Structure 1
Amino acid sequence: MSQVWSAPVRFAECDMQGIVFNAHYLVWADEALTPWWIERGVDWGRFGAEGFQYVVVASTLEWTSSARHGDTVEVDAELEKLGRTSLTVRFGIRVGERPCCTVRTTYVCLTGGAPTAWPDDLRACLAG
């Protein structure tokens, strides 16, 4: 299952070369994560009230081409790996059909500040 999030590239997101500054690709991946959770039926209000949270433990970026001011970026979010306490989401960032960047972010489930297994019903949402 893939979720697509999109936004126009703003002038403020570009550097002096007229291309998107690298840190914005991470922001776009983060923006795409919320609708990705929602599409899977994950209720973070409920899980948060039960003491569960998720945090980023690693992100990698691989560039193919640059997005520029005036482009519209689309971010495809897909589950790449589901572990016992962690998961990795792959974010494919593109302009039209032209790939720009792939972001892979690994999140860990925490309770009380310590890694814990994803709750079974949350895991079912992710695996489904």
Structure 2
Amino acid sequence: MAARWSSPVRYVECDQQGVVFNAHYLTWADETSNHWWAAIGLPWEDLVARGLDPLVKASSLEWTSSARWGDTVTVDAGTEQLGRTSVTVRYTVRVGERVCCVVRNTYVCVADGVATPWPDDVRARLSEG
């Protein structure tokens, strides 16, 4: 785990049964991603200043149980797979020790609108993350 983010489940994130609506798991992964990039020494503003734009190419979600209104979710993030131009980050959403969902986002390094290999120093940090 390279980064962690946590939040109480808000009423607005739930359906009429008090269960978290599926799209919010992606929002939580996105919230955690900012912490993850910074935790591995690649704050977003530094990447952008270098002309790099990691874009989400694909997302997948696997549910094992529901988060509900009143719960507090914790999301752990870490590098799962590193490619030449991409990185897949695994976001594990938990309530306590119970895993609710695993989100995988694959980011592609883009420079000047074209997929490009990660620079060596960025690749080194991604592999540690």
TM-score category of the 2 structures, normalised to the smaller one: over 0.9
Question: What is the root-mean-square deviation in Å for CA atoms of aligned residues?
Answer: 1.0
Structure 2 partner of 1:7: 7
Q: Deviating runs (4+, > 4 A) in structure 1?
A: none
Structure 2 partner of 1:65: 65
**Residues 80-110 of structure 1: per-residue CA shift (max 9 Å, x gap):** 0010000000111010001100101100000
Alpha-carbon separation, structure 2, partners of 1:72 and 1:80: 25
Give TM-score scaled by structure 2 length: 0.95
SS at match of 2:84: coil
Alpha-carbon separation, structure 1, partners of 2:51 and 2:103: 28
Shift of 1:117: 0.5
Tell me the percent identity.
Answer: 60
Alpha-carbon separation, structure 2, partners of 1:93 and 1:43: 22
- How do 1:89-128 and structure 2 match up within 5 A? 89-128=89-128
Alpha-carbon separation, structure 1, partners of 2:46 and 2:99: 36
Q: Which blocks of at least 5 consecutive residues in structure 1 are unaligned? A: none
* Number of corresponding residues: 128
SS at match of 1:41: coil
